[in-house]
Amino acid sequence: MSTLGNIIWLVFGGFFAGLEYIFSGLVLCLTIIGIPFGLRSIKLGTAAFAPFGKNVVDAEHQGPLKLIFDVVWIVLFGWEIAVTHLVFAALLALTIVGIPFAKQHLKLIPLALFPFNMDLRRTSAGGEASAQGKGRA
């Protein structure tokens, strides 16, 4: 079911959301200071192409530097990407068929805001995220 969901996801906004992450990551990698942000953005872009069957979890190693990076990210880039997910979620929630896809966009908002302290991990058969941390569905 998650494979079919991911294919339909790409058609209903997931492709554009992933491209937004990757494009912003490539732009950020043009500067030395932006490389950590660019690499994280590209990683999130590839993860955003197929969110079904995955949960947002807290990162394994959190620290003050990651918190500083998250604050800089929110101010400069994260809020724009989060608004994109929110707009797509609102549009998709207008129809019954679009509700599962709207939920996926809403699931990606914390990841768009806190990319250094959150991660998207594949869900195991039991419904738990395969990494440490509490899953947020």
The model's pLDDT over 31-83, given as tens digits with 9 standing for 90+, comes to 998 999 999 889 888 888 888 888 888 877 778 888 898 899 899 878 888 89
Asked whether the predicted pLDDT for residue 13 surpasses 80, the reply is no
Gap between the Cα atoms of 23 and 129, Å rounded: 28
The pLDDT value recorded for residue 64 is: 86
Instruction: Please check whether residue 130 lies inside any domain of the structure.
Output: no
Instruction: Please check whether residue 91 lies inside any domain of the structure.
Output: yes
Give the mean pLDDT of the chain. Answer: 82
Gap between the Cα atoms of 13 and 31, Å rounded: 29
| Residue range 98-115: mean pLDDT, rounded | 87
| Amino acid, res. 39 | L
Q: Domain tally for the chain?
A: 1
Rounded to two decimals, what is the model's pTM? 0.76
Instruction: Please check whether residue 128 lies inside any domain of the structure.
Output: no
* All residues at 6 or more sequence positions from 31 whose CB lies less than 8 Å from its CB, including other chains: none
53 is in which domain, residue-wise? 2-122
| Residue range 83-112: mean pLDDT, rounded | 88
Residues in the chain, overall count: 137
Asked whether the predicted pLDDT for residue 86 surpasses 50, the reply is yes
Given a contact cutoff of 8 angstroms between Cβ atoms, the answer to whether 85 and 113 are in contact is no
The pLDDT value recorded for residue 127 is: 55
Given a contact cutoff of 8 angstroms between Cβ atoms, the answer to whether 62 and 117 are in contact is yes
The pLDDT value recorded for residue 94 is: 94
- The strand pair at 118-122 and 54-58 is best described as antiparallel
Please report, for residues 11, 82, 99, 100, 124, the alpha-carbon distance to residue 93 in angstroms, rounded to integers and kept in the order given.
Answer: 15, 16, 5, 8, 27
Asked whether the predicted pLDDT for residue 112 surpasses 70, the reply is yes
The per-residue pLDDT for range 125-134, each reduced to its tens digit, is 555 555 444 5
Instruction: Please check whether residue 132 lies inside any domain of the structure.
Output: no
Percent of the chain with pLDDT over 70: 88
Instruction: Please check whether residue 63 lies inside any domain of the structure.
Output: yes
Instruction: Please check whether residue 127 lies inside any domain of the structure.
Output: no
